[in-house]
Structure 1
Amino acid sequence: MKKLTIVVPALNEEEVLNNTLQRLLKIESKLIQAQILDHSSDILVVDDGSVDQTWKIIKHYHEKNKGIKGIKLSRNFGHQNALIAGLQATVISADLVVTIDADLQDDPETINEMINCFAGGAEIVYGVRNDRTTDTWFKRNSAGLFYKLLNLLGIKLIPNHADFRLMSQRAVKTFLQYKERNLFIRGIIPLLGFSTAKVYYKRTPRLAGKSKYPLKKMLAFAWNGITSFSIIPVRFILALGIFTSSLGAVMFFYSIITKWLGLTVHGWSSLMVSIWILGGLQMISLGIIGEYIGKIMTEVKQRPRYTIQSYLK
């Protein structure tokens, strides 16, 4: 029998965490009783710098049940780093790891099906949403656009898959060899190359609390994914520069011809519009290049991804 660890990143989830832990414990207990999982299987909650009662709830459950473990990060390091903290803490002892968000909008009952896929030889099992009717119109369509855009940029993602997945110990160890600080997990996992499977489920509304991914964070997450995996934005700047230079050459010859024909028209508006457009393009180009330079600076410094304040083993 295999040991399963369920890794649950949590940020200010006091309103749902009790329900989450009870449901996950129930699911794991059934699998242990059915002798599908080893009795040492557990749940690890990673508190990503919560300022509410999240850590207090984790400690309470840990005192009652040693199968509930907890990591408290010293501050909010971000969802992706909280996941990595959980994976690094479990990779030594767990034969397979499931990651799932604390709000349980991803159906935890699917874990049983994931384990069946693992038993069938899959080392990575993706949880894929086949129904997003609970999402807003904007979120559904922006998500679809996001997947299409990244696919055009050569970044292979699993559509409608977030961070609900099962991974074997070998897959987790291989994933943790990727040392970059700007880590886009959803893009890295498909690169590992192990046998994979998909399980489908319906995404449900939050029981309580607020989403930890408002529009601002969603846009930042999307931009991080693009710049972490592709240099196409920089190549676009090069293409734009070539196009602008070519257009400038055409306008140069056009100016000579109109001057020679005596058709020159003096105008302040056309000059100012040209200056503003070119100035705007230059600022955008510098911003994109600066984004990549900033990422290089972050990687060179090699600062730790997170700091653990407390660990309940």
Structure 2
Amino acid sequence: MPNMLTLALVVPCYNEEEIFPQTAVKLAQKIRALQSARLVSKKSKVVFVDDGSQDKTWELIAEQHRRCPQIFSGIKLSKNRGHQNALLCGLLTVKDSCDAVISIDADMQDDITVIDGMVRQFLAGCEIVYGVRNNRQTDGLFKKITAQAFYKLMSLLGVQTIYNHADFRLMGRRALDALAEYGEVNLFLRGIIPLLGYKTGVEYYTRAKRLAGTSKYPFYKMLNFALEGITSLSIKPIRLITLLGILLLLVSLAMIVWSIYRYFSGHTIVGWASLAVSLWAIGGLIIFSIGVIGEYIGKIYLETKQRPRYIIEKLLNK
């Protein structure tokens, strides 16, 4: 078995006390099944990344490591750094000790049965294999509409993403080494990873309902996540503001010509209402434009600080 693939499953966790026992059992069973099928080596493991949880998530991770250190490892961040930073921490921490990494959320909504197909595609030459939902039947109407709008908006603004793909994916060591070269603080992995290149594959699956606990991504977090993705990977919003400014300039020139014509034709220009509306519209546009530009300036400010994206407090490894 020395030449077999060594696989790591990286699982970011934040307040997953309710569902963690089920997650640990299912992932351990999957690792053992892959080993029995001789798809992965005995060194393959599950790595939980505790993103500053406020419940007993870390204690449960430590307990699983104590019981079965050959399968379970744990990483504890010093504070909550967000899902993307926790995921990146897990990927970069294990990349030198394995041949491939599969990232998966702790809620077990992603179908782990397709992991076999991911591994086979990697062994066949794919460096990155995306887990992609084949439908959104488990989503409510509002979530379905907003999710579809998110992907379409990202595409419209020039951000390359995989439709209906979240963070369930396999990455080989070459892809992980390439990812490590990206040093930005403002992370949007769904947009960064397609930029890496390499040969890719897709495994389609049906997303299940959450077994326990609650979603860690309410609407306001999803909205912030979408804004993060757009402003981290696209400058089209600034270009759209420029085009809008040019359009308003042309409109204002046309209004000047029209006003001069009305003046010399003897008509009284009456229009306090239209003037007030114009002032409100232009004022709102200016504030909106400043806000968009300020969002980019804020990101530049954070990037220039070069602060660490995460700090590891504890590491449990065999």
TM-score (ref. length: structure 1): 0.98
Match of 1:85 in 2: 89
Deviates more, 1:275-284 or 1:265-274: 265-274
- Residue ranges of structure 1 left out of the alignment (5+ in a row): none
Task: Pick the aligned partner of 2:133 from 129, 134, 139.
Answer: 129
Amino acid aligned to 2:18:
E
Q: Distance in 2 between matches of 1:127 and 1:293?
A: 34
Match of 1:17 in 2: 20
Q: Distance in 1 between matches of 2:142 and 2:222?
A: 12
RMSD across aligned C-alpha pairs, in angstroms?
1.0
Q: Deviations 1:197-231 (Å, cap 9, x if unpaired)?
A: 10111000000111111111111111111111111
| CA deviation after TM superposition for structure 1 residue 2, in Å | 1.3
Task: Pick the aligned partner of 2:301 from 297, 303, 306.
Answer: 297
| CA deviation after TM superposition for structure 1 residue 140, in Å | 1.4
Question: Any runs of at least 4 consecutive aligned residues in structure 1 with deviations exceeding 4 A, and if so which?
Answer: none
Structure 1 residues 221-300: aligned runs within 5 Å: 221-300=225-304
Task: Pick the aligned partner of 2:55 from 38, 52, 57.
Answer: 52
| CA deviation after TM superposition for structure 1 residue 122, in Å | 0.8
Amino acid aligned to 1:141:
I
Match of 2:41 in 1: 38
Amino acid aligned to 2:57:
T
Q: Distance in 1 between matches of 2:81 and 2:268?
A: 60
Q: Distance in 2 between matches of 1:46 and 1:276?
A: 49
- 1:209 equivalent in alignment to 2:213: yes
SS of residue paired to 2:98: coil
SS of residue paired to 1:51: coil
- 1:2 equivalent in alignment to 2:17: no
SS of residue paired to 1:30: helix
Match of 1:63 in 2: 66
Structure 1 residues 179-198: aligned runs within 5 Å: 179-198=183-202
SS of residue paired to 2:76: strand
Amino acid aligned to 1:308:
I
- 8 Å Cα contact 2:263/2:269 also seen in 1: no
- 8 Å Cα contact 2:132/2:165 also seen in 1: yes
Amino acid aligned to 1:62:
H
Q: Deviations 1:142-166 (Å, cap 9, x if unpaired)?
A: 1111111211222221111100001
- 8 Å Cα contact 2:158/2:236 also seen in 1: no
Q: Distance in 1 between matches of 2:38 and 2:280?
A: 69
Deviates more, 1:226-235 or 1:33-42: 33-42
- 8 Å Cα contact 1:255/1:264 also seen in 2: no
Deviates more, 1:25-34 or 1:257-266: 257-266
- 8 Å Cα contact 1:174/1:192 also seen in 2: yes
Q: Deviations 1:43-67 (Å, cap 9, x if unpaired)?
A: 1100111101111110110110112
Q: What percent of counterpart residues are identical?
A: 51
Q: Distance in 2 between matches of 1:223 and 1:264?
A: 47
